[in-house]
Amino acid sequence: MIATLQLPLPPSMNTYWRNFRGRTVLSKGGKSYKLAVQEYVTVHNVPSFGQNRLQAIITIFPRDRRSIDLDNRLKALLDSLQDAGVYDDDGQFDKIEIARGSIKSGGGCTIVLATM
């Protein structure tokens, strides 16, 4: 099974979590991103990969020329897809390829998911 998803630019892990009264909580941007991914999955009828072993090819499209750490975007993306029910656990990935794409207005992310 293969699925290709065109998603918004994942937030950086530097802004994904916040401390509130001594607790670590999901930031407003993190909640917004998770909601956007859930809506995408629902609208586009993305299949569930269940407990299958997975591989992913990810392209991150920056919104401008500022430097970004690709690995800093990965956790928010994978957690959001898990929470949206695309797969059971992000520990199912045996192979992940990540690359920087060209600058795109507003940024974005393409992920191709496939079973192993």
pLDDT tens figures, 59-69? 999 999 998 88
In this prediction, residue 27 carries a pLDDT of: 84
| Main-chain dihedrals φ then ψ at residue 12, nearest 5 degrees | -70, 145
Nearest one of 110, 58, 53, 37 to 87, comparing CA atoms = 53
pLDDT class of 13 with cuts at 50, 70, 90: confident
Q: What angle do CA 70, 99, 92 make, to 5 degrees?
A: 80
Range with lowest mean pLDDT among 3-17, 74-88, 99-113: 3-17
Summarize pLDDT for 68-102 with one digit per residue, the tens.
Answer: 888 889 999 999 999 999 999 999 999 999 999 99
> 71 in helix, strand or coil?
helix
| pLDDT > 90? residue 30 | no
CATH (domain of 13): 3.30.1330.70
Q: DSSP assignment of 42-68, as one string?
A: HHTTPPP-TT--EEEEEEEE-SSSS--
In this prediction, residue 54 carries a pLDDT of: 97
Show the domain range for 38: 2-115
Number of compact structural domains in the chain: 1
| pLDDT > 80? residue 42 | yes
Q: Check if the beta carbon of residue 101 is closer than 8 Å to that of residue 60.
A: yes
| Contacts for 29 with CB less than 8 Å, ≥ 6 apart | 11, 15, 16
In this prediction, residue 29 carries a pLDDT of: 85
